[in-house]
Amino acid sequence: MPKIITIARQFGSGGREVGRRLAEKLGYAYYDNEIINELMKSTSYSKEYIEEVSEKDPVPLFPIRYGSTLNPSPDPGVSMAIEVLSAQAKIIREMALKSDCVIIGRAADYLLRDLKPYRIFVYASDESRLARTLAREQGGKTEKQLKKDMKAVDKKRRKYYRFVTGKDWDNWENYDLCLNTSNADIKSLVDWLAHLFA
């Protein structure tokens, strides 16, 4: 069975970079936006809609884990969200079974729980996340706007995770390792982390 590493992360924590570098270091496949691309091929929805539903803001009426076929909703918004999330869950599983891999976000830790993935949660202090976000900011946003973005994105991720799993996204009990990247050099951190999987 392939080795699977899932990474959930706070906005600005460097979790995506941790995942990408870890996959490169280990020679694993890396799945993030690739999931969106596959969803676009298998559904008729726009990239913008898929991105909004697939990790950020699903319709918060009932958890997907109960399944739309058991309790179909008359609300077309819920039905569309369920269709996208169900297709995404199928794609994530197909990708995970192909080879050793690192999967970013999308509640993959829960969706693949029967495959026993190694579950990592990446977090950092607000100051460190803001500094990292400011360093890569190219749209001219102010520090105040970026702080607002950090809170908004984490709120959406929390909401999404609750929708899919019925659990709290930032509860350490859901993960095998919680990694604090505050003021850390990601490359050095990944060099250390890779030894866990060697």
Q: Is residue 125 part of a domain?
A: yes
pLDDT band for 44, please (50, 70, 90 cuts). Answer: confident
Domain count, the chain: 1
Q: Is residue 197 part of a domain?
A: no
Q: Is residue 198 part of a domain?
A: no
Task: Indicate the pTM of the whole model.
Answer: 0.86
Tell me the H-state helices in 43-115: 47-55, 76-98, 108-111
Q: Is residue 70 part of a domain?
A: yes
Q: Is residue 99 part of a domain?
A: yes
Q: Is residue 31 part of a domain?
A: yes
Range of the domain at 141: 4-191
95-137 pLDDT, tens digit per residue, is 999 999 999 999 999 999 999 999 999 999 999 999 999 888 7
Q: Is residue 119 part of a domain?
A: yes
Q: Is residue 77 part of a domain?
A: yes
**Residue 81, SS3 per DSSP:** helix
Contact 106, 97 (CB under 8 A): no
CA dist 170 and 198 (Å) reads 27
The two tokens of residue 76 are 């077309």
Here the CATH number for the domain that contains residue 120 is 3.40.50.300
